[in-house]
Amino acid sequence: MAKDHIVEEVRRIREEQAAKHAFDIKAILAAAKKRQRRSGRKVVSLTHRNGPLDRSPCPSIRKSA
């Protein structure tokens, strides 16, 4: 299987970030959020505007609203 250099780079950076924060997921997330705020870029929320979506696999078993 051929090596994917982009995937390798992403994994290397992920490992560096994890090691930098002692593999503490809360610290990693806090640092990521801080970088996100400093970037000045617009952040998009993927939540539905009218409340949560019903993700039931079958319409016949969905709960009535």
Contact yes or no for 31/17 (Cβ under 8 A): yes
Q: pTM of this prediction?
A: 0.58
63: three-class secondary structure by DSSP: coil
Contact yes or no for 21/28 (Cβ under 8 A): yes
In this structure, what token pair is assigned to residue 23?
């593999």
pLDDT of residue 60: 64
pLDDT in tens, the chain (65 residues): 789 999 999 999 999 999 999 999 999 999 999 999 999 998 887 776 676 666 777 766 655 55
Q: In Å, how far from its chain's centre is CA 64?
A: 31
